Chains A and B, each alone.
Chain A
């Protein structure tokens, strides 16, 4: 199985290398345009949604069986593919943020210096669609918290060769994800923070997903 996956990944890389000129040209002339920038937002965003789906299915296991969840954590902790995946994810995330910033600044400029004294948002306009940037900021804050609490002490710890992390007063195995969940979510502040975070994420994605389809021209 791992053999097959690596062959597949390799073949994709080969394909990309073979067409590097074409891709380079496409990148350079598409991504300088407003629609191209939006395309990057769509692709990276869609990529993040895929990751979230994966992450979510993993978390659902934690509800059904804490042992099963720990087994997954053990498998993914320092797995080679998982690490590549994490890097790619980080790259995609970074691009998503950079382009979000670029586009927001670009659009601010296009709006002009004079704002309206009064403005009404039409009823059909989704609230999320007008607040993607703010929602995105909340998502990033939540993510930082999540990184500090889970990722830093689990996957990152393993990458740098540790097998145990401090969790409050005690040392626990980096692979016992269920212990981390139990520990943090016993604190109401964290529960609320996570709920805020997930709500923001939900709104961000609810518009983002549809918006990505619209941007790649899928809506008709």
Chain B
């Protein structure tokens, strides 16, 4: 297969970026999108040009490192995948493919397609944990957790922290990310103890870091590679508001 790749190039955080179009040929339809970029980079390097910087790591859809806004969609046109699981068979031969970085005030560009998602770490540091020290835990089967609650907690815990929700949201809101963590822990008895504190602290940090407010469009859940439901956002709202009422 053959493609024209229109890629956002930006030297560093301060530089002004621009789109550059590259031609690429002889791509197998079984090749993954990132492998296609590898091949493009190999070509660029051989021509003495600077390769395109992009984040990636596990290449099996779980580490959350890869990003990319491809043809107007976070993680590209396929559903329920991260960019590393996207294959070239999803594109038409000869197509022009537009590749952009995540764009949001919360995720400043570092270089080309690489953005800084450190804000996610900071939000989780504000309260995305259960305060338990190593060694003090009781036997794991002492707390019975219904299968339904466990499953729902796991649904939310599937978040890989890639940032597609923020990238897609017209408000640059991180609510789905925050909700996934809050909701996952809120569904478990161990997590309930600090539930109020957690919701308040994480929302406050999210606001402080400049993420937008949720207007319930549902674009995040549509683009989430792990299909995390916005019903978790409702739970976050409930946790947050009842916590505030109790104050």
Given contacts A112-B103, A216-B237, contact A38 B173 (CB under 8 A): no
Closest approach, in angstroms, between the C-beta of B126 and any C-beta of chain A? 13
The main secondary structure of chain B at its interface with chain A is mixed
Stretch at the interface among A28-36, A57-65, A149-157, A188-196: A28-36
Which listed residue (A115, A117, A129) contacts B216, Cβ 8 A?
A129
| Chain B residues within 8 Å of A4, by CB | none
Q: How many residues of A contact B (CB 8 A)?
A: 46
Stretch at the interface among B22-30, B132-140, B189-197, B217-225: B217-225
Q: Is A116 an interface residue (CB 8 A)?
A: yes
Which listed residue (B173, B219, B230, B231) contacts A122, Cβ 8 A?
B219
Q: Is A207 an interface residue (CB 8 A)?
A: yes
| Chain B residues within 8 Å of A130, by CB | 170, 217, 219
Evaluate contact between B210 and A109: CB separation under 8 angstroms: yes
Closest approach, in angstroms, between the C-beta of B96 and any C-beta of chain A? 10
Q: Is A123 an interface residue (CB 8 A)?
A: yes
The docked-state distance in angstroms from the alpha carbon of A115 to that of B222 is: 20
Closest approach, in angstroms, between the C-beta of B73 and any C-beta of chain A? 5
Residues 168-200 of B contacting A (Cβ, < 8 Å): 168, 170-173
Given contacts A125-B217, A125-B222, A129-B218, contact A110 B247 (CB under 8 A): no
Q: Is B56 an interface residue (CB 8 A)?
A: no
The closest CB in chain B to the CB of A111 belongs to: B172
The closest CB in chain A to the CB of B206 belongs to: A34
Evaluate contact between A214 and B237: CB separation under 8 angstroms: yes
Closest approach, in angstroms, between the C-beta of B163 and any C-beta of chain A? 13
Which listed residue (B98, B221, B222, B244) contacts A118, Cβ 8 A?
B98
Evaluate contact between A111 and B72: CB separation under 8 angstroms: no
CB within 8 Å of A: which residues of B? 6, 8, 17, 19, 69, 71-73, 98, 100, 103-106, 168, 170-173, 203-204, 206-207, 210-219, 221-223, 230-242, 244-245, 247
CB within 8 Å of B: which residues of A? 25-26, 29-30, 33-39, 103, 106-107, 109-126, 129-130, 132, 207, 210-211, 213-220
